[in-house]
Every structure is written in structure tokens, then in C-alpha cells.
Amino acid sequence: MSSTIVPAFSRSEARRKALQEELNELLDLVGPVPMVDLLIERAFQLRATDIHLDPTATGLRVRMRVDGMLHDVLNVPLAQMPPVISRIKLLADMDISERRSTQDGHISTKNGDLSRDVRVASGPCVYGERLVLRLMADSSSLHNLEELGFEPEQLEIIRSMVASPHGVLLSAGPVGSGKSTLMYTCFEMLNEQYRSLISIEDPVERRITGTTQIQIEPKMNFHFVDALRGVLRQDPNVIMVGEIRDPETAQITVRAGRTGVFVLTTLHANDASAVIDVFRDFGVPPMFIADSVVAIVAQRLLRKVCTACQESYAADVTTLATLGLDLNPPEPVMLKRGRGCDECFHTGYRSRTGIFEIFVLDEEIRLAILEGKPRAHLMQLARSRGMRTMQEVAIKKILDGQTTPEEMNRVLLSY
């Protein structure tokens, strides 16, 4: 049976086409088992973070998320869709007969000498059963703070915050903004023999030697708040709470930060000052917020210009206005962009870097929180005290040739 390739990336050529042909050949000749195994292997090699398998009227659309963007790699014919889905569910120890409700599973696999974990989520949709595979990073991919994209002056601030003896350091941003990567990096920085480090996660994304990692189990009624209550009785020095999702977890987290424990955690919020509003909505008393939170780091990830195909160009008037620059500069403002090549899937971008704003709670900001000042006032205070916004950091990276105005607008104007 001949399988059909989805027209992926209009400008793509050798690298992507070779992957499609390789997967199609395996699917046609020997079936879904080796094809699925190769799909996962190639996804790790391509630095993909997710694999999406979406049923359609004509088959199964397969995509990989690389550098935050989904790319088509294969279209499995309708007749072969069920065995592909079943193969993945079997690997993930999921019930292959259950197709009408959501399920979660887990695959342990090898990529070279490294053991890698894959989290699998399934759910029903109009044309069948949809699967998303999340490819978990391994401990060897932990970064240093310098590699995450912090500006030099921001590095000094974040290092001083991580060195706090107690309190809460919080990372804020939407899904896929690098919050977990930052928290793991800070967690590893604190991983010393004389400290007791405990993480509470859903799921445990990376195994960190020398720490105690706890995975919550909602199906067993073991939630963040249950784990956190128990951990606080176990003499911890540092606790990493994977995510604050509800008022009770928020309240216990900030209380922990007031009782001599250093807490690393994340929260979904658009910017740093918005976190204060979320805590207020959760019913956390202003005194607890002011006394426990040491800093909030809001962040996003921007794709970087591909170094293999980059070119320089002079910014036009519209771009200069977007960047807040003089519309009539004495000399052309030179920026960089990628032409597109096989190394970057013809997107012009390869890899990503972070942009951050660090909202430090000093005495004046703490007082403003206690007085119930609105977030706009808090942001104004922070900026008057030297805080750089994510947009300001992004503009600097554009001028440095690391990314593009289009990428900044895509990421920052979408929220």
C-alpha cells in the first residue's frame, strides 16, 4: 500500500524529505512497529519537544514541534492509522480498547547511551483518537544560567535571588516559555551535599541526582497540595513545586517561603506584575506575598537566527519604528535574518533563547503590595528601579543579530 506524504514546509528539501521517505518506506514495507520506533528516535535527534498525531478524514497527520513550531513530517494512510495508534498505546502501557476517554501513558526509550522518557496523552476527537507525545529532556541537557539568555546585569540579579536563604522565587509565562528549564537550572545550582532538596512535579521531567523527586498522582488523589504538606514535615532546605494551580497550593507555598524554606515554583501569567494579581485572586493575604516572594521572573522563548544561512539587511522605516529607533538614522541599522536552509528546516531559525524580566520585591514594592496598589503601579515602580521588560530585552537581541523583529512580534504580541 502506498502512503501519501503531506506537503510540509513549502521550501523544504533534502533533510525533511529524507525523513518523510524513510518513515514512509518503513511503514509500507514492514508496518507501524519499526516506523513508530524510528519516529521517536528521529524526533530526539531533531531536538523536537513533542510529536502530534492528529486523525483526519484521510489518515493520521504526524507533526513534530521543533523550536516551538509544529512541522508536518508524515501522513499515515487511513488503513494504517489504527495499528500506529495501538503501537504507541502499547508502548505507553495504555488501554488500547479505550478510545472514548482521555488516557495518560509513559514510554521509556534509549537515545544513544541516554535513557529518555516520553509522556503520552490520548483523547477522542471527531475522526478518531488523537495522541501527543511529549519528549522529556534528560539530565545532561540541564543548562547554566549563562546559556538561557539572561543579560549580564540580569545574571547578577538572578544569582543573588537564588542565594536567598528562604522565600519564593517564581517563574511566570505561558506554556512552552521555558519556565521548567529555569527552575531546574536553579534547582541544580542549589544541589549541594549539605542541603535537602525536594521537588514535587507533574510529571518528573528530569532526574536530578542528589535530590528527592516526587511525582503527584491525581488519579490516586495525591495532588500538589498533599505532597507539599507532607514535604514540609521532612526538614527540607529547598522545595521545587512544579506549578501553582490552585489557591490552596499558592497559600501553602508562600507560607513555606516565610518559614525558612527556599521555594522554586512556576505560575501561568503574562508578565511579572500579573503574578501579584493571580495571588490576590487566589486569596493569598498581601502580607504573605510581600513577606515571602523574593522575585518573579517572567519569560518567553524566541527563535534564534540560523547561523548557517544568516544574512545582513538594512532595517526599513517600519522596522525602525517597531524597535523604537530613530526613523532617520545617520547610518543604516543593520539586522540579521535567516534565508532558510536544510539545517533550519528552511525556517531561517535554529534553536531558541530566553527573554526575561526580573521583578525584584524590594521594600518600596513590598509596601505597595501591602497597600493594594494595582499591577500597573507595581510595574511602574519596578521599571523606575531598573527592571528591563521582555520587549526591551528582545530589542537588544534583535540589534545584536540573535533574532528578528518578526519573531519578537510573533511571541510578544500573541499574548
227 φ, ψ to 5°?
Answer: -65, -40
Q: Which are the contacts of 55, defined by CB distance < 8 A and separation ≥ 6?
A: 61, 81, 125, 126, 127, 128, 129, 130
How many domains is the chain built from?
Answer: 2
pTM over 0.75: yes
User: What was the pLDDT predicted at 414?
Assistant: 65
- Domain-terminating residue out of 136, 164, 197: 136
Query: Running along the chain, 415 residues long, what does each successive block of 10 average in pLDDT?
Result: 40 58 70 82 89 95 93 89 93 92 87 78 94 82 82 96 96 93 95 96 87 90 92 96 94 93 96 95 96 97 96 96 94 95 88 96 96 95 95 97 96 79
8 falls within a domain: no
Question: 147 and 129 in one domain?
Answer: no
Domain that holds residue 353: 140-412
Q: Inter-axis angle of helices 247-257 and 272-281, to 10 degrees? A: 110
Query: Is the residue at 408 inside a domain?
Result: yes
* 28: CATH: 3.30.450.90
198 sits in which H/E element: strand 197-201
Q: DSSP class of residue 222?
A: B
Asked if 33 and 179 sit in the same domain, the reply is no
Cell numbers placing 170: 517564581
* CA distances from residue 106 to 64, 129, 133, 354 in whole angstroms, order as listed: 18, 17, 9, 29
Residues 99 and 206 in one domain: no
Instruction: Report the C-alpha gap between 170 and 7 in whole angstroms.
Output: 42
Cα separation, 197 vs 187, whole angstroms: 8
Tell me the angle at which helices 363-370 and 375-384 cross, rounded to the nearest 10 degrees. 170
d(CA 245, CA 256) in angstroms, rounded, equals 16
Q: Are residues 63 and 147 in the same domain?
A: no
pLDDT at 298: 97
Same domain, 24 and 164: no
Which pLDDT score is estimated for 356?
97
Residue 1 lies in a domain: no
